[in-house]
Every structure is written in structure tokens, then in C-alpha cells.
Amino acid sequence: MSGEANSPFVLTTVDQMTRWAQRNSLWPLTMGLACCAIEMMALVTPRFDAARFGAEVFRGSPRQADLMIVSGRVCHKMVPVVRQLYEQMAEPKWVMSMGACASSGGTFNNYAVVQGVDQVLPVDVYVPGCPPTPEAVLQALVALQERIASGAARGALPANARPQAVGARA
């Protein structure tokens, strides 16, 4: 958006306005897969207050959600469930891979666990750690918002672009 500070007018484009609205009203899906989900739940407590970023409205239905936080390891048995939930989510939609297990299988290098959720879903942002702190998840949320605002989030990414990792656990 642009305009003089004292002007009663704001000039922008529909595209910029849409991205502004999308970035400031992310609605995460209520979905927890393992221990990382406990840290994810802390996002909406007063201490971390995800409402500051417009992302506190965790939805019980995928049709009302546009952000999937994959919080925990993804077992192969869960892949059809996770994919169905993703497909039922509203467009446009984004995926955050939260924690070592979701991003790479973590310590579970075995036949039962998917070695990175990016094998089954398009991931927009990764959060390292075991578990990542709520602060790290908030940092990833802000990074995702910036990517949405700039048009660099999934859908506008060039084929060889890599999603960014943020906020390692201290």
C-alpha cells in the first residue's frame, strides 16, 4: 500500500489487499500428532498470545482452516488422514512443519514414520527443534506471514525455491 501520511486516501491493488488479509487472518487447523502438539497448544495461552498475529482461531473443521501445523511425527498409517484433512482445507492454504520429527523423522528413523512430511504435503515453512518452543513457532508464523505478503509463499514459489527454516530451540 502507498499514500501520503496525511492523505485520506490509500492506494493499493486487489492482490496486495488480498495478501494483507490472508497474512493477518491465518486460521490453524486443530490437529496434533505427537508431543510437539503440546507446545503448539501453548500458542494460544496468554503467555504466548498468538492473537497478536491474528492466528489464534484454531478451527475444528478443515473447511474453516487455512494453516496446517504438522506438530509431531507422521506415521505412514496417518498419511491418508493427514492428506484428506489437507485436501479438505480452504484454498489458499499453507503448511508448517513443526519439529524434527515432522521435518525429517527425527530420531524415528524406522519403517513406521515418514522421514519428512514434505514427502506427502507441500511445506511452506519449517520449525527445527525437539520440541520447538512456542516462540520458535511464532517466529515461523511471522516468517510465513512475510512470505504470504511478498507473494513468495507456496503457489508463487519457483520450482527450485527452498522453504526457509527459522528459530532453532535455544
Segment contacting ligand SF4 (CB under 6 A): 30-38, 48-56, 74-82, 154-162? 30-38
Please name the residues in contact with 149: beta carbons below 8 A apart, sequence gap of 6 or more: 19, 20, 23
- Asked if 105 interacts with ligand SF4 (CB under 6 A), we say no
Residue 14 or 170: the one with the smaller Cβ distance to ligand SF4 is 170
- Measure the CA–CA gap between 2 and 52, rounded to whole angstroms: 24
Of the residues 112, 130, 156, 168, which one makes contact with ligand SF4 according to CB under 6 A: 130
CB of 132 to ligand SF4, least distance (A): 8
Cross-strand pairs, 29: 59
**Please, which residues bridge with residue 164 across strands?**
125
Q: What is the CA radius of gyration of the chain?
A: 17
| Contact call for residue 101 and ligand SF4 (CB under 6 A) | yes
Query: Which one of residues 50, 55, 100, 125 is an interface residue with ligand SF4 (CB under 6 A)?
Result: 100
Is residue 54 within 8 Å of residue 22, measured between CB atoms? no
Q: Which of 26, 29, 31, 34 binds ligand SF4 (CB under 6 A)?
A: 34
User: If binding is defined by CB under 6 A, does position 134 make contact with ligand SF4?
Assistant: no
Say how many residues touch ligand SF4, by CB under 6 A: 11
Contacts 24+ apart (CB under 8 A), 146-151: 146/23, 148/19, 148/22, 148/23, 148/94, 149/19, 149/20, 149/23, 151/15, 151/19
Cβ proximity to ligand SF4: between 65 and 101 the closer is 101
Residue with grid cell 505478503, as numbered in its chain: 149
Half-sphere exposure of 98 (CA within 13 A, CB side): 34
Q: Which is nearer to ligand SF4, 34 or 140 (CB)?
A: 34
Q: Which residues bind ligand SF4 (CB under 6 A)?
A: 34-36, 72-73, 99-101, 106, 130-131
